[in-house]
Amino acid sequence: MSEKILVIGANGQIGTELVNALRDKYGAEEVIASDINSPIYAIRHSGPFEFVNVLDKDNLHHIFTKHQPTQVYLLAAILSAVGEQKPKMAWDLNMTGLIQILDYAVEFGVKKVFWPSSIAVFGPHSPQENTPQYCVMDPNTVYGFSKLAGERWCEYYYEKHGLDVRSLRYPGLIGWRANPGGGTTDYAVHIFHEALKKGSYQSFLSANTALPMMYMDDAIRATITLMDTPAEQITIRSSYNLAGISFTPAQLAEEIKKLIPNFEISYAEHDPRQAIADSWPKSIDDSYAQKDWGWKLEYDLKTMTEDMLKNLKNVILA
């Protein structure tokens, strides 16, 4: 049976890359990109687009009726830093939006749903090194506890309704095709832009703040691999830990300096994102992903930095 895939939140950092990867895999016409805002350049000309507001039930119902999707990727969300400025709005979008999609997925017989979770589901009492899949979770950001509650809803819909919903706890994501929007890990993308444009960068996180990160190519491959895995191999219906590469701003700056020797990094004195980063894991144990669906990381800090600078340079010079 052919697939009809709806991606909601297609303009975002993950959406931009995922839409094009899915169009390559399934054919342009089979992947409907959708967003509350006008399509960005990268997806505008590569296939169909619909305006969608996940909080507008009638609008969503119309889109499901019109396209009868077999797979839905719900990427629309407010991230950690912006979520602290707009807590109620973040809760509403991240939670009401998810439950609405889960309901329509059941009603319209959608075969598979993907929904992203995050390292933000962990909190100050979670083990910070090699954080296991199952442990104390006391997230203290609205984004973090909306993701944790969302994971519980996903598993609940799988158990109660048999909905085939799959999820990954992404680390901070780094890519050159699209910018992140309002997260705590955004420094690791901004630093590349500023290194190429100005030769210097002021990090809003301190020099030794280690966080798990991942190059976007690996994140997209993980997503598609998880979605391609036979249902019986999926043993986690909340969300899978995904480890990536752990490094600090100072270590990333050192790696950039190998290619841009004059690059200089400085550090902001006070930034509210520091407390968020301090409450998150420094590294992750993703052995369930390795065991259940053969997950293996490709990019390390060195190859990621080289690839980022090479590609971003072309974008900036263009």
| Binding of residue 74 to ligand SER (CB under 6 A) | no
| Binding of residue 209 to ligand SER (CB under 6 A) | no
Q: Tokens at residue 176, please?
A: 């050159």
Q: Which of residues 254-313 bind ligand SER (CB under 6 A)?
A: none
Show the binding pattern over residues 90-129: x = contacts ligand SER (CB under 6 A), - = does not: ----------------------------x-x---------
CB of residue 271 vs ligand SER: minimum separation in angstroms? 13
CB of residue 216 vs ligand SER: minimum separation in angstroms? 12
Rounded Cα gap, residues 316 and 299, in angstroms: 23
CB of residue 274 vs ligand SER: minimum separation in angstroms? 12
Where does residue 22 rank: exposed (0-12), middle (13-18), buried (19+ CB within 10 A)? buried
- Kindly give, in sequence order, each residue whose CB lies less than 8 Å from that of residue 120, ignoring residues fewer than 6 positions away: 80, 139, 141, 143, 144, 147, 184, 276, 280
CB of residue 172 vs ligand SER: minimum separation in angstroms? 5
- Kindly give, in sequence order, each residue whose CB lies less than 8 Å from that of residue 18, ignoring residues fewer than 6 positions away: 7, 10, 73, 75, 220, 223
The site for ligand SER, by CB under 6 A, has a size of: 10
Rounded Cα gap, residues 270 and 273, in angstroms: 9
Nearest to 52 by CA among 65, 68, 40, 38: 38
Q: Which of residues 167-206 bind ligand SER (CB under 6 A)?
A: 170, 172, 183-185
Q: Which of 70, 80, 94, 209 binds ligand SER (CB under 6 A)?
A: 80
Where does residue 34 rank: exposed (0-12), middle (13-18), buried (19+ CB within 10 A)? buried
Residue with tokens 């894991």: 281
Cα 230–Cα 234–Cα 235 angle in degrees, nearest 5 = 155
Q: So which residues are the catalytic ones?
A: 143
CB of residue 28 vs ligand SER: minimum separation in angstroms? 28
| Binding of residue 76 to ligand SER (CB under 6 A) | no
Give me the residues that bind ligand SER (CB under 6 A), please. Answer: 79-80, 118, 120, 143, 170, 172, 183-185
